[in-house]
Amino acid sequence: MPRSDRILMGPGPCNPYPEAIEAFGRPMLGHLDPEFLALLDDVCDRLRSLFGTTNALTVPISGTGSAGMETCIVNVLGPGDVAVIGVNGVFGQRMCDVASRTGAEVVRVDFEWGTPVTAERLLNAHPSPTLIGMVHAETSTGARSDVAEIGAGKGDALLLVDCVTSLGGLEFRADDWGVDLAYSGTQKCLGVPPGLSPITVSDRARDRFVAKSQSWYLDLRLIGDYVGTPGAKRAYHHTAPISMIFSLHGGLTAIADEGVDAVIERHATCGTAVQDGLVGLGFELFAQEGHRLPQLTTVRVPSGVDEAAIRSDLLGTYGIEIGGGLGEYAGKVWRVGCMGHTARERNVTTLVAALGELMAR
Amino acid sequence: MPRSDRILMGPGPCNPYPEAIEAFGRPMLGHLDPEFLALLDDVCDRLRSLFGTTNALTVPISGTGSAGMETCIVNVLGPGDVAVIGVNGVFGQRMCDVASRTGAEVVRVDFEWGTPVTAERLLNAHPSPTLIGMVHAETSTGARSDVAEIGAGKGDALLLVDCVTSLGGLEFRADDWGVDLAYSGTQKCLGVPPGLSPITVSDRARDRFVAKSQSWYLDLRLIGDYVGTPGAKRAYHHTAPISMIFSLHGGLTAIADEGVDAVIERHATCGTAVQDGLVGLGFELFAQEGHRLPQLTTVRVPSGVDEAAIRSDLLGTYGIEIGGGLGEYAGKVWRVGCMGHTARERNVTTLVAALGELMAR
């Protein structure tokens, strides 16, 4: 089978840090081996730092970002609960779908795609929601929403934030912003292959866990007995995905060595370069000005352009992957990621030059 | 951090095949990249061969073995359904726990630990169950149960089989045996790191999927649109764990190159050597004769032996991991795995010699 070498500038996965791939070569350990548990504790500590939290229950869930979403939801929602969810793209929609499957009532608050969710409408949607859910960085539109104002006004509700595309690429301060539950993914700004979903859960949320989660695999009471809580019994729940946790440790080490602030600054610089470059080629940016993510840029595809053919040529001729639109924007926008190890100026230069050549044909 | 090199002879993970680790070094691909989809199709084909099936829906689930268990259950059970589950160890218990969380009625049929589940009691437990569940190879006891007779007598029920510890180490013939749903794990006889759960689902089971699974992440209608079904729309569901699928492909290639029959024979030979060696040291085998797994041997810990200290010394001095007992057998049995790349006679020799030295102290 061919082993093509891609520049991954879609909405994720990105190109992983070399340290994340090297870590796969560590000798395998058992999931109860003291050396593995020490490494896992170190992973959890580093995740706390990125999430901006002291939450004891901060762990990598053994699935991709959507498993983290489901974990955060099924442990706090059930019949009789009310979830207010801001929807400004596919991942807010997904949150509604997952929440509705718990039997909770979902109050969906729609916002125009490409714009942020706003505190006012979200906070006034229901008098006493169990949970308010929102997406920090909408991967389907490239829009950033402000979390802090919603956290400040959440009242008795729990605040759930999707930071799949933001963690490691934008500042995130779970504790300062009043975030009770947040989940991310490894394959975006953390620069690690897909496969794990780092989550953090406040003590306040833990106090409100449902009596028995509808999911055994994602049951945070059982997971917390194995990992993530100081003094955990280390009781076997499921076999941890050892190699992926090695890789996450490798990626988090690369981030720590560069410095989190420097990594975020690199994402900002590259994102500006992507947006300037695409505007220079005549593209119109899709997300609302002032709320554009540096790590994920959406542009409208000009009418008359065969967008699938261009993406295919970009991949086939230049080895560059970019993403198409999702949902109602399929065929209408492109999504250009610049995350993790991909977020290097040389990759931006290559993309803009290649796309310029293809558009000029 | 130290990077100790273990001989992994617990109940899993085993030492992975070198090919499974090498595969982690493949350049990262996107989850919609044609090259990745071709590799994923190849993985599914190889899994069909191991499962002994032509089931279209044969895919690696993006979680560990327990995620596969939950996937198989939440797509076919809900309130009003009845699940008859044979319990002869921890994993039958877990199946009951997962099934009960769907709202289905669970009819639990207990068997003495270390013995197999039997067709007669399982088939007579309820007049019209929705599902009959059983564990082919009980990882907590080392006992093998026969599947074919239960499949032949299942009537209108669906047959669900846990083959986490059997797939690749024992013959498995899903289609011939009347298995409708089966799940495995990568870290046992497949010789791949933990992190994925290969499953197979018959068309008969697909016709009986619940209208909407309580889990979004494990919803097989949505997963089937992305992968595993000929002509699948390749619709994005979640980001596939690319690197783990590379690794699974590597491990399955190693198995195919050696030949599945030869791999199973190697597990049998090594298992006999483990059992002979342990009996030679004076240990009593726990599982019932005639139903002992070659890949996982349980022995009773003699009274007066500090079992945790011996296991700790085995790990610290000799770098060998073996497993303790689970549930009511914690502290009373050891579980000695010999699976995947670990299933080499040299490892058996090392284990028996090391354990002999420790027991003689």
Report CB contact under 8 Å: A1, B35. yes
> What residues in A contact B21, CB-CB < 8 Å?
24-25
For chain B, list the strands marked E by DSSP. 7-8, 57-61, 82-87, 105-110, 131-135, 137-138, 143-144, 158-162, 181-183, 197-201, 284-285, 296-300, 320-321, 323-324, 333-337
Domain at B7-14+260-360, CATH from 3.90.1150.10, 3.40.190.10, 3.40.50.1820, 3.40.50.300 = 3.90.1150.10
Contact A135, A92 (CB under 8 A): yes
What value does the mean pLDDT take over residues B273-299? 98
Q: Indicate the residue of A27, A62, A217 with minimum beta-carbon distance to B4.
A: A27
Where in chain B are all domains bearing CATH 3.40.640.10?
A: 18-257
Contact of B94 with chain A, judged by CB distance below 8 Å, is answered with yes
Where in chain B are all domains bearing CATH 3.90.1150.10?
A: 7-14+260-360
At B261, is the pLDDT very low, low, confident or very high (cuts 50, 70, 90)? very high
* Amino acid B84: pLDDT: 98
Q: Would you list the DSSP string of B53-97?
A: ---SEEEEESS-HHHHHHHHHHTT--TT-EEEEEESSHHHHHHHH
Q: In whole angstroms, give the CA distance from residue A180 to residue A175.
A: 8
**Quick one: chain A helix, strand, coil %, rounded to 5?**
40, 15, 45
Task: Check whether A229 has a pLDDT greater than 80.
Answer: no
Report CB contact under 8 Å: B216, A70. yes
Which residue(s) pair with A183 in the sheet? A162, A199
- What Å distances lie between residue B297 and A336, B166, B283, B287, B318, CA to CA? 52, 13, 11, 8, 20
Strands B131-135 and B82-87: parallel
Of all residues in chain B, the percent with pLDDT exceeding 90 is 95
Report CB contact under 8 Å: A33, B187. no
Q: Which of residues 311-330 of A touch B (CB under 8 A)?
A: 315, 321, 326
Q: Of the candidates B129, B126, B179, B127, which has an alpha carbon nearest to the alpha carbon of residue B150?
A: B179
For A105-123, the pLDDT digits (tens) are 999 999 999 999 999 999 9
Strands B137-138 and B143-144: antiparallel
At B361, is the pLDDT very low, low, confident or very high (cuts 50, 70, 90)? confident
What value does the mean pLDDT take over residues B138-151? 98
What value does the mean pLDDT take over residues A320-342? 96
Tokens of A35: 């050396």
The residue of chain B nearest to residue A214, with distances taken between CA atoms, is B101
Contact B61, B237 (CB under 8 A): no
Q: How far does the CA of residue A234 sit from the closest CA of chain B (Å)?
A: 13
At A233, is the pLDDT very low, low, confident or very high (cuts 50, 70, 90)? confident
Q: Which residues contact B54 (CB under 8 A, 6 or more apart)?
A: B48, B175
Peptide bond into A127 cis (omega under 30): no
Report CB contact under 8 Å: B4, A214. no
Q: Of the candidates A149, A91, A112, A103, which has an alpha carbon nearest to the alpha carbon of residue A130?
A: A103
Which residue(s) pair with A167 in the sheet? A170
Kindly tell me the burial class for residue B341, based on how many C-beta atoms sit within 10 Å of its own C-beta (0-12, 13-18, 19 or more).
Answer: buried
Q: Which residues contact A297 (CB under 8 A, 6 or more apart)?
A: A142, A271, A274, A275, A278, A285, A287, A335, A336, A337, A338
Task: Check whether B229 has a pLDDT greater than 70.
Answer: no
Would you give the DSSP letter of residue A288?
P
Peptide bond into B127 cis (omega under 30): no
At A2, is the pLDDT very low, low, confident or very high (cuts 50, 70, 90)? confident
For A124-157, the pLDDT digits (tens) are 999 999 999 999 999 999 999 999 999 999 999 9
Q: How far does the CA of residue A27 sit from the closest CA of chain B (Å)?
A: 5
Q: What does CATH list as the number for A7-14+259-360? A: 3.90.1150.10
Maximal CA-CA distance, chain B = 63
pLDDT mean across residues, chain B = 97
Contact of A233 with chain B, judged by CB distance below 8 Å, is answered with no
Contact B324, B306 (CB under 8 A): no
Q: What does CATH list as the number for A18-257? A: 3.40.640.10
Which contiguous run of DSSP H or E holds residue A106?
Answer: strand A105-110
Q: What's the ipTM? A: 0.97
> What residues in B contact A69, CB-CB < 8 Å?
217
Task: Check whether A230 has a pLDDT greater than 70.
Answer: no
For B183-222, the pLDDT digits (tens) are 999 999 999 999 999 999 999 999 999 999 999 999 999 9
For B234-342, list the strands marked E by DSSP. 284-285, 296-300, 320-321, 323-324, 333-337
Q: Of the candidates B177, B241, B80, B308, which has an alpha carbon nearest to the alpha carbon of residue A241?
A: B241
Contacts 24+ apart (CB under 8 A), A312-318: A313/A358, A314/A354, A314/A355, A314/A358, A315/A6, A315/B33, A317/A354, A317/A358, A318/A7, A318/A350, A318/A354
Q: In whole angstroms, give the CA distance from residue B353 to residue B184.
A: 32
The residue of chain A nearest to residue B22, with distances taken between CA atoms, is A25
What value does the mean pLDDT take over residues B179-186? 98
